[in-house]
A and B are shown apart, each in its own frame.
Chain A
């Protein structure tokens, strides 16, 4: 072989603690290395050109780049060597930045380690073989999981570009959290006026199929060809017939049914339509509260329904959908703030969450937009807002900032003033985080124009005193204790990933970070991709995001799907398992361990049992390879010999 080694300085990122010229010189001593050099920025255009030049000048048939993590630039350099006519898999990277220069102080030791890592890469490359992709067809259909604003945006953008979209929503209506909001910051425009038309567009779009009250049960397949099992929950109403007239909800006698759309501050009927603008506007029976379903007698709704669409016998239905890509936009839920004993642990009726307050402010909410406190229905005069409840609090396992609470609290303080001109708002905050366009001006306006009093400090206790609440806290700027007699306390409760998102992550084979938010492919360069090809992220499922960012992510995820679908066919990753039929004895141990069913119990032409890999289904984990005692099934690019070569490069075979 003729191997070229390129050692990257990465400006001073690597050369600061690694002697790059010496490393390049030492790399030249490795077997088969015919050319080695060091470059300032290997990934830059001149850097890549110099690789291409060297391949031609020195007739290289393998390239090692010692620079950053392969998770960063392996794809970049594979394309580079491919441009020079090399097979992209005749390329290896030595990670001398993340694993060497950035973590070790001693330059001599770092240099030695860098040389070793290059030696390992060279050894692996010498045992490598060119690999070739297979082409396969793409199902040009997108599934969006979650019908909040991010999911709606992704669905509409994709559908507008001509792609068939399946939108799956767990609740009985799309709209997500945004549909519950009254106004939005920093423009104070009506949330449902912004979102409503988009929801209608989803309902009317010829390219969008909506599955509400549905959840994803199982996903199999691979990029371009996923098979998704969608569970349509029983709603006990034939939605194809239901016109959403609402007659049933008027007559339903079970009026004490908790109303999740109103964040449980109000009740609804057992058969209900969550809110007037719901999409789809169909009635749903809550089986836990329906008298017919719990006690077996009632059936009023069935009697009054003019189209006879009530079906008490309805069962969950599983439907199988073929899609080529999936956008996950499952959003968030609020943190359970009852762990905060000092805030009343959820027991004080006039201590409410920010989302409950939105419902009180909302004209379509249970109070018709009049701010009336839950305990006695009185108008509050003094309203206290407490920020960072379950955000930036390590003691509650919530170290992260929920990112948009500062802004909506400012908005709610403004709305309080406009609803109740005589009221006074107090905001306890840790820091005001308002980095968006027009955001800082907005929080200033809250204080300067609307007179909200901002107090920097934490609240230590809230207790009931007669009909009002006594809020004690610290004002750390004034250096004193404060005590406020409040009529209503609104907690800016932090967010956490939507319930069941852990299960969804496992179903989709995507990973989640320590806080449970789905992991993006790369924190900077692949913010809406995941590590699973064909699965994209939008909105709060990836981390706390406000509406504009969620919408941008929705569009970005749709764009990624469009890029995928712009190909008639896709190229498979050739880093899959292959069977050496001569060595295979047909014990099918590999078949038993493959998690994806990618290995078949097959036969050769003499009817000898042999294992056979389906390359498009194989995901390249290599479990099978270790299962096979005689090494008959090997994972391309991570073969036994390639990995052994790396071991032997660091620890040479002992000789007598």
Chain B
């Protein structure tokens, strides 16, 4: 395996970005052209549109142990495909609000809008989100050993037995 596999060596965390090609990916390019320095944790996946971003990709990343997922696209109303980010907004908001039930910190997932000309805003977004993820620390993994506290015993879990249905 390549040496980059354990990111934590360099003090970095695993942050995945899903960016639409037309606005945010361009904006990130423009930030590069302007040499706007950013933390190095983020790895960007290019998609044609935020409308292409399946919430399941984000869940897959988080369950695989990503410490943060950042989605960015065109501002609502400016979508290259007219409606893509309107659909994305509903899907991503739904995901963000459902996440807490899974125990995955919704703060680890952010979606935002950055246009092709907003290179400075992109730099800010990356800096802020990376700082937030570092403040949260590495994400708990499904593979970590479960602490067998009393609260987790099966008796405590069958909530519906007491006061009504789930």
Shortest B108–chain A CB gap in Å is: 12
Residues of B within 8 A of A99 (CB): 28-29, 32, 44
Return the chain A residue nearest B126 by Cβ: A103
Do residues A638 and B25 form an inter-chain contact, with CB atoms below 8 A? no
> Is A344 in the interface zone, CB < 8 Å from B?
no
Also in contact, A108 and B35, with CB within 8 A (given A115-B3, A625-B52, A654-B142): no
Also in contact, A511 and B32, with CB within 8 A (given A108-B10, A120-B45, A531-B80): no
> Is B147 in the interface zone, CB < 8 Å from A?
no
Return the chain A residue nearest B10 by Cβ: A109
Instruction: Select which of A115, A575, A625 is within 8 A of B2 by beta carbon.
Output: A115
Do residues A644 and B21 form an inter-chain contact, with CB atoms below 8 A? no
Binds A, one of B81-89, B148-156, B158-166: B81-89
> Is A655 in the interface zone, CB < 8 Å from B?
yes
> Is A104 in the interface zone, CB < 8 Å from B?
yes
Complex alpha-carbon distance, A519 and B143, angstroms:
47
Do residues A638 and B37 form an inter-chain contact, with CB atoms below 8 A? no
> Is B112 in the interface zone, CB < 8 Å from A?
no
Residues of B within 8 A of A95 (CB): 29, 44, 46
> Is A608 in the interface zone, CB < 8 Å from B?
no
Also in contact, A595 and B82, with CB within 8 A (given A26-B4, A626-B87, A647-B57): yes
Interface-central residue, A625, A635, A650, by most chain B CB under 10 Å: A650
Residues of A within 8 A of B46 (CB): 70, 95
Do residues A112 and B22 form an inter-chain contact, with CB atoms below 8 A? no
Shortest A441–chain B CB gap in Å is: 34
> Is A377 in the interface zone, CB < 8 Å from B?
no
Return the chain A residue nearest B28 by Cβ: A99
Residues of A within 8 A of B29 (CB): 69, 71-72, 95, 98-99
Do residues A103 and B49 form an inter-chain contact, with CB atoms below 8 A? no
Return the chain B residue nearest A620 by Cβ: B48
Complex alpha-carbon distance, A105 and B47, angstroms:
26
Return the chain B residue nearest A97 by Cβ: B32
Residues of A within 8 A of B52 (CB): 621-623, 625-626, 635, 638, 643
Do residues B66 and A651 form an inter-chain contact, with CB atoms below 8 A? yes
Residues of B within 8 A of A626 (CB): 51-55, 87, 91
Shortest A333–chain B CB gap in Å is: 20
Query: Which chain A residues in 634-656 approach chain B with CB under 8 Å?
Result: 635, 638, 640, 643-644, 646-648, 650-656
Do residues B48 and A635 form an inter-chain contact, with CB atoms below 8 A? yes
Interface-central residue, A99, A644, A648, by most chain B CB under 10 Å: A99
Do residues A647 and B16 form an inter-chain contact, with CB atoms below 8 A? yes
Complex alpha-carbon distance, A119 and B25, angstroms:
19
Do residues B61 and A651 form an inter-chain contact, with CB atoms below 8 A? yes
Complex alpha-carbon distance, A109 and B40, angstroms:
7
> Is B132 in the interface zone, CB < 8 Å from A?
no
**Binary per-residue interface labels of chain A (49-72) against chain B in the complex, 1 for a CB within 8 Å, 0 otherwise:** 000000000000000000001111
Complex alpha-carbon distance, A109 and B141, angstroms:
24
Residues of B within 8 A of A116 (CB): 4, 7, 43
Complex alpha-carbon distance, A72 and B29, angstroms:
10
Instruction: Select which of A105, A112, A648 is within 8 A of B3 by beta carbon.
Output: A112
> Is A413 in the interface zone, CB < 8 Å from B?
no
Residues of A within 8 A of B3 (CB): 26, 112, 115
Shortest B31–chain A CB gap in Å is: 6
> Is B70 in the interface zone, CB < 8 Å from A?
no
Residues of B within 8 A of A652 (CB): 5, 64
Residues of B within 8 A of A596 (CB): 81
Also in contact, A30 and B12, with CB within 8 A (given A105-B37, A621-B51, A656-B143): no
**Binary per-residue interface labels of chain A (119-143) against chain B in the complex, 1 for a CB within 8 Å, 0 otherwise:** 1100000000000000000000000
> Is A200 in the interface zone, CB < 8 Å from B?
no
Residues of B within 8 A of A643 (CB): 45, 47, 52, 54, 57
| Pair count A-B, CB < 8 A | 183
Residues of A within 8 A of B141 (CB): 654
Do residues B4 and A514 form an inter-chain contact, with CB atoms below 8 A? no
**Binary per-residue interface labels of chain A (237-270) against chain B in the complex, 1 for a CB within 8 Å, 0 otherwise:** 0000000000000000000000000000000000
Query: Which chain B residues in 1-35 approach chain A with CB under 8 Å?
Result: 1-5, 7, 10, 12, 14, 16, 21-23, 25-26, 28-29, 31-33, 35
Do residues B43 and A104 form an inter-chain contact, with CB atoms below 8 A? no
Residues of A within 8 A of B16 (CB): 647, 650-651
Instruction: Select which of A105, A115, A650 is within 8 A of B66 by beta carbon.
Output: A650
> Is B118 in the interface zone, CB < 8 Å from A?
yes
Also in contact, A113 and B40, with CB within 8 A (given A651-B65, A655-B143): yes
> Is B117 in the interface zone, CB < 8 Å from A?
yes
> Is B136 in the interface zone, CB < 8 Å from A?
no
Residues of B within 8 A of A115 (CB): 2-4
Shortest B130–chain A CB gap in Å is: 12
> Is A117 in the interface zone, CB < 8 Å from B?
yes
Residues of B within 8 A of A620 (CB): 48
Q: How many residues of A contact B (CB 8 A)?
A: 64
Query: Which chain A residues in 496-541 approach chain B with CB under 8 Å?
Result: 506, 509, 511-514, 519, 531-532
Instruction: Select which of A112, A113, A519, A638 is within 8 A of B48 by beta carbon.
Output: A638
Interface-central residue, B4, B51, B55, B115, by most chain A CB under 10 Å: B4
Do residues B78 and A102 form an inter-chain contact, with CB atoms below 8 A? no
Complex alpha-carbon distance, A519 and B78, angstroms:
12
> Is A29 in the interface zone, CB < 8 Å from B?
yes
Also in contact, A506 and B77, with CB within 8 A (given A29-B1, A650-B43): yes
Shortest B8–chain A CB gap in Å is: 11
Do residues B51 and A623 form an inter-chain contact, with CB atoms below 8 A? yes
Shortest A646–chain B CB gap in Å is: 5
Shortest B44–chain A CB gap in Å is: 6
Interface-central residue, A619, A651, A655, by most chain B CB under 10 Å: A651
Do residues A511 and B22 form an inter-chain contact, with CB atoms below 8 A? yes
Do residues A509 and B82 form an inter-chain contact, with CB atoms below 8 A? yes
Query: Which chain A residues in 577-633 approach chain B with CB under 8 Å?
Result: 593, 595-596, 619-623, 625-627
Residues of B within 8 A of A70 (CB): 46
Complex alpha-carbon distance, A3 and B51, angstroms:
30
Do residues B81 and A625 form an inter-chain contact, with CB atoms below 8 A? no
Residues of B within 8 A of A512 (CB): 78
Shortest A73–chain B CB gap in Å is: 12
Shortest A27–chain B CB gap in Å is: 8
Complex alpha-carbon distance, A106 and B49, angstroms:
31
Residues of A within 8 A of B115 (CB): 511, 513-514
Also in contact, A509 and B49, with CB within 8 A (given A647-B61, A652-B64, A654-B143): no
A-B pairs with beta carbons under 8 Å apart, 10 shown: A27-B2, A511-B23, A619-B81, A622-B84, A623-B52, A643-B45, A651-B65, A651-B66, A653-B64, A654-B141
A-to-B contact residues, CB < 8 Å? 26-27, 29-30, 69-72, 95, 97-100, 102-106, 108-110, 112-113, 115-117, 119-120, 506, 509, 511-514, 519, 531-532, 575, 593, 595-596, 619-623, 625-627, 635, 638, 640, 643-644, 646-648, 650-656
Q: Beyond A105-B37, A109-B12: 10 further Cβ-contacts under 8 Å?
A: A98-B32, A116-B7, A511-B80, A511-B116, A595-B81, A622-B49, A626-B91, A647-B61, A651-B65, A654-B64
B-to-A contact residues, CB < 8 Å? 1-5, 7, 10, 12, 14, 16, 21-23, 25-26, 28-29, 31-33, 35-40, 43-49, 51-55, 57, 60-61, 63-66, 74, 77-78, 80-84, 87, 91, 115-118, 123, 141-143
- Sorted nearest first, the 6 A-B pairs with minimum C-beta distance are A622-B52, A98-B32, A621-B81, A651-B64, A623-B51, A102-B32
